[in-house]
Structure 1
Amino acid sequence: MSFQTVFQRYELKYLLTQEQKKKILQAMAPYMELDQYGRTTIRNLYFDTGNYRLARHSIEKPSYKEKLRMRSYSQADPESPVFVELKKKYRNVVYKRRIALPEKEAMEWLQGGSCSQDVQISREVDYFLSYYRNLAPVVFLSYEREAFFSEERIYKTSFSKYGTAYQSMIYPGLVQPVYYAKATEPGTVREAVCYG
C-alpha cells in the first residue's frame, strides 16, 4: 500500500454539537466520500524535550511552530506500520511530512537509533532530533475520526471525537487543559476542514 508522505494545507477547526455535525454531513453528502481510512481510531505519540519546549512554544501561538509525533490508524504491534511525522505550521498553513516504518523500528529510531530509509524526510527528522536533543515520548492521544474527501481530492473534512484516551507520560495535565478540555465536553465533536 502506498501512503501520501507530503501534505500542505490550510486547517480550520470548529467545535460542533452532534446536531450540527449531522447537518454538515447531509449537506456535503453529494460532494464528499469517506477516505481510505474511513472511520478509524487515530493514535498519536507526541515527543518533546524534558522542559516541554515544543508544547510551551505552541501555547504562545507563534507564527511558526513544529512538532514530532508517531501516528497509527489501528492498534499497533511491533511490526505494524506507523508514521513518523514532522508537522509544521507557518502563518496558518500546515506542512506535514511523514515516513512509514514498522512500530518497533520507528521507536528505536526516535529514541536514539537510526532510520533504515535514507530519504529526505528521514534526514529532516534526524535534524529535528539533533536540534531539540533528548526528545522523549510525553503524550499519548487517541481519538475517533471520520475523514471525507471531495471527488477531486482537493478538499478534506474530518470529524474527530475526543474521548478519555489521553495520557501525559511525564506530567499529567500539562497539555490536556490547554488543548483538549473543550473538545471533551459531552455532546461536542471537533471538526477540521482542510483545504489542499
Structure 2
Amino acid sequence: MAIEVFNRSECKFLIDKDVYEALNIKLLEYMKRDDYNKVHDFYTISNIYYDTKDNFLIRNSLTKPKYKEKLRIRAYGVPHIDDKVYLEIKKKVNGLGNKRRTSIKLRETYEVLSTGEKPKLESYMNKQVINEIQYMLKLYNLEPKAYIAYDRKAMFGKDNREVRITFDTNIRTRRYDLKLEAGDYGEPLLEKGKCLMEVKVEKNIPIWLARLLSEYKIYKASFSKYGNEYKKMLINNKNMKGEMNKCLTQYSAQYQMQQLVTQFP
C-alpha cells in the first residue's frame, strides 16, 4: 500500500529557470528521480481545494496560526470519473506539516464531500483517514473553491528517502469548472521563468544541500499555492476587496477547540 500519512518540515524557495537547470544537475549527484519522472521530465498534479463559503480555511491560514488545515482532492493528470484519486487533509502544527490521505474513486469523492456521509469502505480506502475527513466535514460546511495544477519534478535522496525535493512549474488556477475531469487549464499563478522549489525533510536539511543553497544564493520564501491564488483572486475581484479584513468569526468556537491539539492523531 502507498504511504498515506506524512510528517515533515517543508521549506519553499522561488527560483529562476537558469538556477533550476544548474541545480538540477548538481542534485543528481546526491538524489534520484521519483518513479513518475523516470519516463517524463515532469508529471502533472491537479487539485481541487475545498473551503467554506466565506473562505475561512484559507483566510485563517494566511494569518499564520499555530494550527491550520486544508482539504483537497488530488489526481495525477486528468482523471476520469471512475478513476482513483486521493482525498487529502493537509495540516500544519507549529510549523510541522502533516498530510493524511486515502485512495478513493473520483465519483465516490464527490458524493462524500457533497453529503458528508461515509462511503462504503473498500480495500483501497484508509478507514482512519475517512473518519477524519468526515469529522472535518461536520466541523465546516465545505464546497469546491479552486482548481490548482502544476507540472512537477521530484527527487529522493539516494541514501536517505527522508529528503525529498520537488520543482513545480507552470502553476495554473481557475475558480470555475471545479471538477478534475473537466480538463487541465487555467490562468498562470507564477510569473514566467519562475519555479517553486520545495525541500521536504523529516529531520534536518543535510549539509550538502545547505551548501548548494548557499552556493546558488537560494533563500526561503513564503509561498502557498492556494494562498497566493486566493490573494490574486481578491486583487482581481473588486467586489471582494475587503474580504481579508473580515473577522474570522463563523467557525471561531470550533477553531479554538482545535487549537488545543498539541500533537497529530
Q: Give the TM-score band, short-chain normalised.
A: 0.7 to 0.9
Runs of 4 or more, structure 1, over 4 Å off, are: none
Note the aligned Cα RMSD (angstroms).
Answer: 1.8
Mapped contact 2:8–2:98 kept (Cα < 8 A):
yes
Write the mapping of 1:131-170 to structure 2, written as runs, cut at 5 A.
131-132=139-140, 134-151=141-158, 152-163=160-171, 165-169=172-176
User: Pairwise mapping of residues 4-83 of structure 1 onto structure 2 (< 5 A)?
Assistant: 4-38=3-37, 39-83=42-86
Aligned counterparts of 1:60 and 1:129: Cα–Cα separation in 2: 22
Query: Could you tell me how far apart the structure 2 residues matched to 1:32 and 1:11 are?
Result: 17
User: Partner of 1:114 in structure 2?
Assistant: 118
Q: How many angstroms apart in 2 are the aligned matches of 1:23 and 1:115?
A: 47
Letter of the structure 2 residue corresponding to residue 114 of structure 1 = K
Q: State whether residues 118 and 130 of structure 2, in contact with CA within 8 Å, keep that contact through their aligned partners in structure 1.
A: no
As a proportion of its length, which structure holds more helix? Answer: 2
Residue 167 of structure 1 aligns with an amino acid whose one-letter code is: R
What does residue range 93-104 of structure 1 map to in structure 2 within 5 Å? 93-104=96-107
| Secondary structure of 1:84 counterpart | strand
Q: Per the alignment, in what secondary structure is the counterpart of residue 3 of structure 2?
A: coil
Structure ranking higher in strand proportion: 1
Higher RCO by CA contacts (8 Å cutoff, separation 6 or greater): 1
Letter in 1 for 2:6: F
Larger Rg: 2
TM-score, length-scaled by structure 1 = 0.88
Identity of aligned residues (%): 31
More displaced, 99-108 or 25-34?
A: 25-34
Amino acid at match of 2:120: S
1:27 CA drift (Å) = 1.5
For residues 114 and 25 of structure 2, the distance between their equivalents in structure 1, rounded to whole angstroms, comes to 45
Q: Secondary structure at the match of 1:184?
A: coil
Q: Is the 8 A contact 1:85 1:99 kept in 2?
A: yes
Distance across 2 between alignment mates of 1:106 and 1:45: 11
Partner deviation per Cα, 1:144-163 (whole Å, 9 max, x = no partner): 11111112211000000134
Asked whether 1:190 is paired with 2:196, we answer yes
1:29-88 deviation per Cα after TM superposition (whole angstroms, max 9, x unaligned): 121111122221110100001111101101111121100000001211011110000000
Which AA in structure 2 matches 1:53? F
CA distance in 2, matches of 1:115, 1:4: 21
Greater shift, 7-16 or 147-156, is seen at: 147-156
Indicate if the aligned counterparts of 1:37 and 1:73 stay in contact, CA closer than 8 A: no
Displacement after TM superposition at 1:127 (Å)? 0.3
Look up the equivalent residue of 2:152 and give its one-letter code: R
* Structure 1 residue 4 displacement after superposition: 1.2
1:88 maps to 2:94: no
Matches of 1:56 and 1:116, distance apart in 2: 33
